[in-house]
């Protein structure tokens, strides 16, 4: 169907059509967020970006979410005073309102139950059984709120011999195997540079919640989602995990090289490193043409990817000195001309100065109670129900009075 005036093919994130849902596809969905640190907040921020109204519950005795203290850097107010808005906290807590509440008290528990009565979704990441003593676990709430979708995120899950153990991203990366695959072959196992196990767990949580919402729409029935940080990490071992299951052989660390494709990795040029991702034999022939090594494309050791895998070291012995005859820009330009994937390793200053990041709106500014803050954009682009950036990350408890005094605490803002 051709695009028309009321159905454009593509629109930027900030665009809102007259007949759209205004706040996104999840407008009207109410989320009670009892999570902290990264996995749960990543999930609830995604739901908030999609239009859901999120109330974040924070413990006033500890100063709120743990990550409020995980700095520097912090945002300073107009007088130069440090706020509780650390960069770490802000990365996963926009589009939420904050209520400071001590759930260890009867009053706090009563308020949570009142909010749960209105909520569609509750997200928590206490240790299994941690909320039972307050009467706020799924079994306690299910009888009174059968339509509630209750997402429980923990280190190892609600069952299993490790269920009582706490979980952090680094532990999950180690226990779940990804660290054994990452790093220099002769060096130590290495974690990813960011909390990727937490982030992936938050994304799985979002997918599970959306599926549970669909089920609830059809049946008016809520349910519990039991999600473990380690389970999510094991799931994204992808090809390496499946290869082990089918061979029984532990994969070895290969640094920046690929277990199944050659050449595919990081190479030195005369002035910088360059990434090459030569994914098939025709690309390899064009790559060899650029290096003036056309004969290698016909060499039986290198003519096919399975052969190149077998003779990986021999090929690298040729490629490494050959690439050092060129600058990084020369290699990238030569590969782009020949339609062979290649690119730079950019530092963050170059990433956020790039025209591509600007065009895709992947860096945004919002006005917080402490002043303007710079945040990462949401990568989702919708033609009819765009993501919205309605509320900057809140300071701890900044919305407590408004929420508690309102007859409609989940009212849209």
Catalytic residue positions, numbered: 198
CA–CA dist 402, 341 (Å, integer): 53
- DSSP state, 7? B
Four-CA torsion 209, 212, 218, 219, nearest 10 degrees: -130
Q: Is 356 exposed, middle or buried (0-12, 13-18, 19+ CB in 10 A)?
A: exposed
The residues that bridge with 150 in the sheet, in sequence order, are 122, 224
Which tokens sit at 202? Answer: 């938050």
- DSSP state, 99? E
Checking phi first, is residue 361 left (phi over 0); if not, alpha (psi -120 to 50) or beta? left
CB distance 398 to 9 below 8 Å? no
CB distance 366 to 91 below 8 Å? no
The alpha carbon of 54 is separated from its chain's Cα centroid by a whole number of angstroms, namely: 18
| Alpha helices in 50-93, H assignment, sequence order | 87-90
- If DSSP codes are grouped into helix, strand and coil, which group holds residue 157? coil
| Alpha helices in 248-384, H assignment, sequence order | 281-290, 305-310, 312-323, 328-337, 348-353, 355-359
- DSSP state, 236? T
Element housing 401 (H / E): helix 400-404
């Amino acid at each position: 169907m051709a695009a028309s005036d009321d159905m454009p093919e593509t629109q930027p994130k900030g665009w809102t059509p007259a007949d759209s849902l205004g706040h996104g596809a999840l407008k009207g969905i109410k989320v009670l967020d009892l999570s902290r640190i990264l996995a749960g907040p990543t999930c609830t921020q995604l739901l908030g970006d999609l239009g859901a109204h999120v109330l974040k519950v924070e413990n006033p005795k500890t100063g709120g979410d743990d990550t409020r203290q995980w700095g520097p850097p912090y945002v300073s107010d107009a007088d130069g005073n440090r706020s509780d808005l650390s960069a770490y906290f802000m990365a996963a807590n926009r589009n939420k309102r904050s209520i400071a509440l001590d759930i260890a008290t009867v009053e706090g528990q009563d308020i949570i139950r009142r909010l749960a009565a209105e909520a569609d979704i509750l997200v928590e990441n206490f240790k299994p059984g941690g909320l039972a003593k307050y009467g706020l676990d799924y079994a306690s709430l299910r009888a009174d709120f059968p339509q509630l979708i209750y997402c429980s995120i923990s280190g190892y899950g609600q069952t299993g011999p490790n269920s009582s153990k706490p979980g952090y991203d680094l532990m999950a990366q180690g226990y779940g195997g990804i660290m054994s695959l990452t790093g220099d072959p002769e060096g130590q196992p290495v974690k990813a540079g960011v909390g990727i196990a937490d982030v992936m767990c938050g994304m799985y949580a979002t997918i599970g919640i959306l599926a549970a919402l669909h089920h609830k729409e059809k049946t008016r029935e809520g349910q519990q989602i039991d999600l473990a940080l380690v389970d999510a990490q094991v799931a994204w071992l992808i090809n390496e995990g499946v290869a082990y299951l089918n061979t029984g052989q532990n994969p070895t660390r290969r640094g920046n090289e690929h277990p199944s494709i050659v050449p595919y990795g990081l190479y030195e040029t005369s002035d910088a490193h360059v990434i090459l991702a030569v994914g098939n034999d025709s690309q390899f022939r064009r790559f060899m043409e650029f290096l003036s090594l056309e004969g290698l494309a016909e060499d039986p050791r290198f003519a096919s990817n399975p052969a190149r895998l077998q003779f990986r070291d021999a090929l690298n012995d040729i490629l490494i000195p050959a690439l050092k005859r060129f600058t990084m820009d020369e290699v990238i330009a030569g590969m782009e001309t020949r339609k062979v994937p290649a690119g730079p390793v950019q530092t963050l200053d170059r990433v956020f100065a790039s025209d591509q990041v600007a065009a895709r709106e992947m860096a945004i500014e919002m006005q917080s109670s402490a002043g303007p803050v710079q945040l990462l954009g949401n990568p989702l682009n919708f033609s009819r129900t765009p993501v919205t950036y309605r509320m900057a990350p809140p300071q701890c408890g900044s919305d407590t009075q408004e929420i508690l005094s309102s007859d409609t605490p989940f009212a849209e803002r």
